[in-house]
Chain A
Amino acid sequence: MRCGVFLCECGGNISGVLDLDSLADSARTHDGVVSISRNQFMCGTEGRRMIEQAVEERGLDRIVIGACSRRFQGPTFERIARELRLGENAVAFGNLREGCSFIHRDEPAKAQLKAEKIVSAAVARARFQSDLPRGRTFLHRSALVVGGGIAGITAAEELSGAGIDVHLVEREQSLGGYMARLSKTFPTEDCAMCSLAPQLTGAALDPRIHIRTLTDVTEISGPPGEFRVKLRQRPRFVSEACVGCDDCTAACPVSVSSEFELGVTKRKAISRPFANAVPSLYAIDKRGPAPCKSACPAGTSAQGYVALVAEGRFDEAYRVASGPNPFPSVCGRICTHPCERACARGEVDEPVAIAALKRFVADHVGPETVIEKVPVIHSEKVAIIGAGPAGLTCARDLAKLGYRTTVFEALPVAGGMLKTGIPDYRLPKDVLEREIDQITALGVELKLGQRAGKDFTVDGLLENGYGAAFLAVGLQKSSEVEITGAELEGTERAVEFLRRLNLGKSVSVGDRVVVIGGGDVALDAARSAIRLQQTSGREPNVTLVYRRTRAEMPALGEEDEQAIEEGLKVEFLVAPLEIVGKKGRVSALKLQRCKLGEPDSSGRRRPVPIEGDVTEIEADTVVLAIGQDIVCDFLEGCEDVSVEKGQIRIDRDTLMTGKSGVFAGGDAAATGGWTAIEAIAAGTRAAHSIHNYLRGEKLFEVWPAKAAEARPSAEELARREVGQRIPAVLLDRSDRCASWAEVVGGYSEEEAIAEASRCLACAVCSECEACVRACPAGAIELDQQEETEELAVGAIIVATGHKEFDARRKIPLGFGRFSNVVTQSQLARLLAPSGPTAGELERPSDGAVPKKIFMLQCVGSRDCTSSGNEHCSAICCLFATLHASLIKQHYPDVDITIGYTDLRAPGKSHEEYYRLVQERGVRYVRGRVGEVMEEADKSLRVRFEDTVTKRKNEELFDLVVLSAGLEASAGTTEIAHVAGLQQGSAGFIKEYHPKLKPVDTQRAGIFVAGTAQGPKNIPDTIAQAKAAAARVVSMLSAGFVLTPAQVASSNLEQCIGCGICESVCPQGAVKLSGGDNPHSVVDANSCRGCGICAAECPSGAMTLGGYSDEEILAEVMV
């Protein structure tokens, strides 16, 4: 080593305490020191010359600097060493100033001794310092700008001007950001949109700016200069064909609070935030299936027809309701409506009466709907066995697809269980017949009285011209029950009992009827028995016995209430033991009393007999309603189809049986439960599968994939006002028991509209497809999918902006509770000529022009409580001043008070503007508001303290405007996580250095601009955006960047591949590679040089450039 020691006097700062001559003498004694120099300012040009000269003349290969802290002048000396081709790691530093002379001024002797040690340590360290290799990264001449507000647009424009390709990514549907919402800007009072619109258009037309909206950045990897960025673009559901005619918003039935208008008004599910939006396309806010749609086995867009009913558009509602379901009138009455159980409104008060609305719309529109025959376009014929809901739905859907379909029905009537199982008082026969007629009107052929296996065989059909068959034979008999006395006269089986009744055969019951069971069939049998007794002039005497309690009963809740009203007696927790007979006739039913035990596999609590507690109930008719079973006649002449556990065996995904071309569904081959709506769903799915089969396509799963349903958050639900559903009108008890008239009445138009208006529009877009029909350009594409994309860019600018502080967090101020308390940004919308009131100031409660306005400053800003932020939001004083001025100019009589903490108006022309507005008559009061209270007339009582006069005031105002502060937007927090950027208070992105590097972030190659970095006004935002763009230009203009010198590196010969380094690296820069014989590899571009890996390495293979163990220990040991 040939080392030169250079001692700096620092103009006396060092030499005033330390004796540098004596220090030089001591340094001279160290091994390897061949030159000593001192200078007044070693960091100056003279010092530089001394170093150059010494290096040249004395052949130095190491330089020791005894001067100030390395953190100050370190880079200066490192640069000199680099330029002298010694490499920057040829310099060692002894901190003689901050580390010695400054802090030991009163102990010069000890300071001198310490200085000698400091220099000695630096010399010792220098011996171990060696040149560090540095790689080069070549730069992509492109940039990513995240955020399409004024900062992002400005930066993009600036970069494009420098010839750099820009990818401008915005998460909303249009560029424009916050500035697009403002009415005017201070202090010039010029229109915000007038300045912004040309910028927007410019960006849209710029060939170097590639705009992506509705897009999130999901990953940023790779080194600065060649970042790899992953983007996720959410579907817009509207194609480029959109001409912006606005016909779709007129057609859309769903209205929700408008984010762009900050909740001041509503927007439709399909919308464009403002006229100058870029891109100018509309977009659909579709958040997934609504809970009601998701819960419906048939996938009916319940939210869709409910929304259309709310608008009084019944024809369209009928089209939506009947789309997947040929039986809307039927289902509106008897469906188990899982949609209502899923309805989010149920968490607020009661679920929307979806089924009743369906019934209304189907009864209202259905009868008038004229059905036309669908032309047959396929040669294959399809046979459907069974004319129940599954079979008829399948037939209808196939007919619509252009197939010739024949439905074979064993009974002389069509409708299956809808016809033979459900009594008239629940489902009038004409309702069912109408809907069946609509199916046959399409061209579906019905062959009644044809029993499969007897009158024809399935195999025979397939041999005689039918391409496929669908078995929808249902469960046509009651389950056999092993109970003594089941053969006695007077014992009825519910399915057969109801079938006889519904087919108009003569049916009679005794005076004392007992029904065993707790399902819908049991209730239907019981209520029918009541009617049979009453129509024959007897008093109703029907008892239902059920093993468990009402809570476990599978029948619909509202229905058993109606039955009890009608006189039904119910015995819970009793199990039948024996039907007691007398002379071959039923005389009584012996029952075992039970209690509830542990839950069984269905989750319901199991009934457990109470030993010895047996009771008897007198009866002359006992109806067994304990389940249904399949009748297997159809299997005759139907090879390869099998029945297991009472169900036809099918492939659940395709509904195909063991025989190719034969499908099955409905109750006989259930894939879910045994309900009408599930049978209808199976019919539709079977039609799809048969179509796939006949078209020679691969059979694939026909059930749609379950998408995550859209549901309002608990917070949103809690904000909803509690109401109640509109009750259905029931037929009077005495009227209904003596006849078979329908019990439940339908809604009137007014009731239906009112009930439908209770819908919360969970999914926003209801998938009613009204827009599809309305769009003249055919631009609606409801099947668009999310897309991902990967880009390579050289640099990134984060311009993700801010959001307004949520003033609801300040509960005493009443925002969100009182309609006439608004935020300053909402006021901007109310004052904007393009806003919902066309610039007229109207107070939200009644639309009147407010006469007295109070503006409260520092809401959520300069606030040390936990509900607020500590920082000053910088723009609010002038934002309020601007709005006060605008109001004063349009409505000179309006009285405006601004309650401020301190009035802050720094910046060009701002103080002048404040004075001007004061002169316009706006009252500024220094004071804090305690509470805002609402009066009966919706005006607001404000209690505030004037902190100048120390007087407490209480005044009435028509409008209170809260100057809510600024916080980091959700997008800012998201990009901080994705890019690994640090966030400071209130979530704003931390800059690398608050003064010297205000637009650099902690991560090289990523820059920040605008309110993502902190609160600021528009001119400052633009200046910062241009600064960030300039940083990108200067970085990318270099062509390449050197990898940092101070990075970790692994000695391959020593590395044992244990992977500890990989596991501890906080940057993910160290990876094991090399398969079976792994070793660690450091990505010099990702490594930030912390040295955690070097400290953890057990073999000593890993080291950190400039901070090897030898270098550190050399310094320690002296």
Chain B
Amino acid sequence: MPLTARGEAIFERLPGAAPRESTGAIGCQIVRHEELCIGCGRCASACPSGATLKGDMFDPMQLYSAPPDSRRGAIGTALRAIARHQPSGSIAVPERVSAFRTIVFDASRCIGCGACARACPTGAAEALPVPAEEIGAGVSG
């Protein structure tokens, strides 16, 4: 996937920067906590490199692991009450269902800018600092 306009802008500010797969990281490492995700998609809109996308599948386990007072948690509680067994894997999501989509994160495209973590309202996307010695040699800004 080509870079988005925002991605281009970020690269302009960071001379020598390149996606993670070629240089390692340019900033931070992203850790995702899917149990906190509410599927709003802000991370995907914020991501400049196409590393974070709203997927077409949904893992029902996310309903079980969500906080019980959240919307997903409430559905999880209801589903658990009638379930005959554990969810048997991800399900396809119809077009018009927006929030029940598992976020697809491709670490190899991540540029480590942390935009997703800043955009995430629930802490599901977390940006951990990467020690300076691990940062790719080409980065100077």
Q: How far is the CA of A1056 from the CA of B125 in the complex (A)?
A: 14
Q: How far is the CB of B113 from chain A (nearest CB, A)?
A: 16
- Evaluate contact between A1058 and B41: CB separation under 8 angstroms: yes
Q: 1/0 per position for A1067-1101, CB-CB distance to B under 8 A?
A: 00000000000000000000000000000111110
B39 smallest CB distance to A (angstroms) = 5
> How distant is the Cα of A964 from the Cα of B122 in the complex, in angstroms?
65
- Could you tell me the distance in whole angstroms from the C-beta of B102 to the nearest C-beta in chain A? 13
Interchain CA distance A1099-B41 in the complex, whole Å: 12
Q: State how many angstroms separate the Cβ of A747 from the closest Cβ of chain B.
A: 61
CA distance A549 to B12 in the complex (A): 54
Question: Is A221 part of the contact surface with B, judged by Cβ < 8 Å?
Answer: no
Instruction: List B35-84 residues whose CB lies under 8 Å from chain A.
Output: 38-42, 45, 70-72
For chain A, the count of residues having a C-beta within 8 Å of the partner chain is 12
Interface 1/0 per residue, A1052-1069 and B, CB below 8 Å: 000011111001100000
**In the complex, what residues of A have CB within 8 A of residue B39's CB?**
1098
User: Could you mark each residue 108-128 of chain B with 1 if its beta carbon is under 8 Å from any beta carbon of chain A, else 0?
Assistant: 000000000000011000000
Q: Is the Cβ of B71 less than 8 Å from the Cβ of A1057?
A: no
Given contacts A1056-B38, A1056-B40, A1099-B121, 15 further A-B contacts (CB under 8 A): A1056-B42, A1057-B121, A1058-B41, A1058-B121, A1059-B45, A1060-B40, A1060-B99, A1064-B96, A1096-B98, A1096-B99, A1097-B71, A1097-B99, A1098-B38, A1098-B98, A1099-B38
Q: Which residues of B contact A1056 (CB under 8 A)?
A: 38, 40, 42, 121-122
Mark out the residues of chain B between 75 and 108 whose CB falls within 8 Å of any chain A CB in the assembled complex: 96, 98-99
Chain B residues closer than 8 Å to A1057, beta-carbon distance: 42, 121
- Are B98 and A1060 in touch, CB under 8 angstroms? yes
Q: Complex Cα distance A921/B45, Å?
A: 78
* B71 and A1058 within 8 A (CB): no
Interface residue from B40, B45, B96 paired with A1099 (Cβ < 8 Å): B40
Residues of B within 8 A of A1096 (CB): 98-99
Interface majority SS (helix, strand, loop, mixed), chain A: loop
C-alpha spacing A546/B42, complex, angstroms:
66
Q: Which residues of A contact B98 (CB under 8 A)?
A: 1060, 1063-1064, 1096, 1098
Q: Please give the distance in Å from B125's CB to the nearest CB on chain A.
A: 13
Residue of B nearest to A1092 (CB): B96
Q: What B residues does A1100 contact at CB under 8 A?
A: 70-71
Interface residues of A (CB under 8 A from B): 1056-1060, 1063-1064, 1096-1100
Q: Write the nearest CB–CB distance from B138 to chain A, whole angstroms.
A: 30
B26 to chain A, nearest CB (A): 22
Q: A1097 — which chain B residues lie within 8 A by C-beta?
A: 71, 99
Of all chain A residues, the one with the shortest Cβ separation from B101 is A1098
Q: What residue in chain A is nearest B120 (Cβ atoms)?
A: A1056
Complex A-B: 14 CB contacts under 8 Å: A1056-B38, A1056-B122, A1057-B121, A1060-B41, A1060-B98, A1060-B99, A1064-B96, A1064-B98, A1096-B98, A1097-B99, A1098-B39, A1098-B98, A1098-B99, A1100-B70
Could you tell me the distance between the alpha carbons of A565 and B43 in the complex, rounded to whole angstroms? 77
Q: Smallest Cβ distance from A1074 to chain B, in angstroms?
A: 14
B120: shortest Cβ distance to chain A, in Å? 9
**Residues of chain A lying within 8 A (CB to CB) of residue B122:** 1056
**Residue from B39, B42, B72 having most chain A Cβ neighbours under 10 A:** B42
How many Å from the CB of A1116 to the closest CB on chain B?
11
Give chain B residues whose Cβ lies under 8 Å from the Cβ of A1099. Answer: 38, 40, 71, 121
**Which chain A positions have C-beta within 8 A of B99?**
1060, 1096-1098
Q: In the assembled complex, which residues on chain A have CB atoms less than 8 Å from the CB atom of B71? A: 1097-1100
**Contact for A1058 among B40, B70, B72, CB less than 8 A:** B40
Q: How far is the CA of A1057 from the CA of B96 in the complex (A)?
A: 19
Closest to A1096 in B: B98
Q: Which 8 A-B pairs have the closest CB atoms?
A: A1058-B40, A1098-B99, A1056-B121, A1098-B38, A1098-B40, A1060-B98, A1058-B42, A1096-B98
Nearest to A1055 among chain B residues (CB) is B121
How far in angstroms is the closest Cβ of chain A from B60?
16
**How many Å lie between the Cα of A305 and that of B10 in the bound state?**
61
> Once bound together, how far apart are the Cα atoms of A1059 and B46, in whole Å?
12
Chain B min CB distance to A1064 (Å)? 7
Chain A residues with CB under 8 Å of B70's CB are 1100
Interface centre among B39, B40, B41, B122 (most CB of A within 10 A): B40
Closest to A1098 in B: B99
- Give the interface centre of B72, B99, B122 by most chain A CB atoms within 10 Å: B99
Q: How far is the CA of A846 from the CA of B123 in the complex (A)?
A: 86
Cβ–Cβ < 8 Å partners of A1058 in chain B: 40-42, 45, 121
Give chain A residues whose Cβ lies under 8 Å from the Cβ of B72.
Answer: 1098
- For A1098, list chain B residues within 8 Å (CB): 38-40, 71-72, 98-99
